[in-house]
Amino acid sequence: MTSASLAAPVKMIAIDIDGTILPSRGTAISERNQRALRAAEAAGIEIVIATGRRQAFALPIVEPVGLSQETILISSNGSITRNFAGDLLERSLVPSATARELCRMLRNYGSTVMTFDREGPGSLVIESLQTLHERIALWVEANRSSLAEVVPLERALDDGESPVQAMVCGTVEAMREAYDALASSAMAQEIALHRTEYPRRNLCIVDILPQGCSKGAALERLARQRGIGREQVMAIGDNYNDVEMMAFAGRGVLMGNATPELQQIGQEHGWLITGTNDEDGVAQVIESVCLDSETVGQADRA
């Protein structure tokens, strides 16, 4: 980070959910993290939640914090931006023809999930609940009410509705292979690829989004709409799908539980390394920002 970005007051903080503001176990944000988020909002800093989760899967995690209903939620890794109240700001879709080709190609690599921007059963469409359950049982159980089985998966596209996202999951090695195959395919110019890795579980998720979609791109557009310069934006994350938003922000913050490879990337970019998600690393850095804001405010009043 440059000295200029360090001197600029933070006006917006974008925060990932899993592995960042959530602990390693459980689905409740710690009291310390909750207090830090509310304190930042009270200090006039805009909080933005940026996650790979769908909005319906993310809101039950973040709403209990007590932030404003105007708080922005960037979901599906940047495909959709809404506020907590559900008002749509922007949405991007994977073209149906591209989605059909993805169904065909991804069968070689694992269980594919198509995500549609709708409520209830069928917002997540898969071919085999059993196969997916074997890979990510906790996710399946948490999303069971939204899941629908369609065989073959292409039939889910017959009504003309386009998905916002496709997802395939498997071992780290298999998903890196899938990622490379997609990146070198004829579809590469039509899609955006993001991966989330959990090495301890040997699990990787590859998200396939509409072209140009990422947490970073959505955050950049939002900051521009607010008239906030990137030097006034902080972004906090722990995984590969957070890299774009940390690279955009004037203050990138990487969680201490990030992989060694990501920590090396963070060092090269000059990002701050905070505590782990189980050490309330988010609160640690936000408390520092709020203290800085209070100091600036006192100086302005002097």
Q: What is the pLDDT of residues 239-279, one digit of tens each?
A: 999 999 999 999 999 999 999 999 999 999 999 999 999 99
In the block, which residue shows the tokens 């890979």?
135
Q: Outline which parts of the chain fall under CATH 3.30.1240.10.
A: 96-210
In angstroms, the CA 133 to CA 128 distance is 9
Average confidence (pLDDT) over 2-24: 83
In angstroms, the CA 115 to CA 54 distance is 8
The helix or strand, by DSSP H or E, that contains position 66, with its residue range, turns out to be none
In angstroms, the CA 199 to CA 287 distance is 30
**Beta-carbon count within 10 A of 39 CB:** 18
pLDDT given at position 301: 41
Contacts of 179 (CB under 8 A, 6+ apart): 193, 195, 206
What's the one-letter identity of residue 242?
Answer: D
Structure tokens belonging to residue 172:
């780290």
Average confidence (pLDDT) over 144-159: 94
Each residue's pLDDT tens digit, 182-212: 999 999 999 999 999 999 889 999 999 999 9
Of the pLDDT bands very low, low, confident and very high (cuts 50, 70, 90), residue 291 is: confident
Mean pLDDT of the chain: 92
pLDDT given at position 7: 63
Residue 55 · residue 49 · CB < 8 Å: no
What architecture is domain 7-91+214-301? Answer: 3-Layer(aba) Sandwich (3.40)
Of the pLDDT bands very low, low, confident and very high (cuts 50, 70, 90), residue 296 is: very low
Each residue's pLDDT tens digit, 25-57: 999 999 999 999 999 999 999 999 999 999 999
**pTM of the predicted protein model:** 0.91
Rg (CA), the chain: 19
Fold classification of 96-210 is 3.30.1240
Whether the pLDDT of residue 299 is over 60: the answer is: no
Task: Give which of 279, 273, 248, 280 is closest to 258, Cα–Cα.
Answer: 273
pLDDT given at position 4: 40
Q: Outline which parts of the chain fall under CATH 3.40.50.1000.
A: 7-91+214-301
Residue 280 · residue 32 · CB < 8 Å: yes
pLDDT given at position 99: 96
Contacts of 225 (CB under 8 A, 6+ apart): none
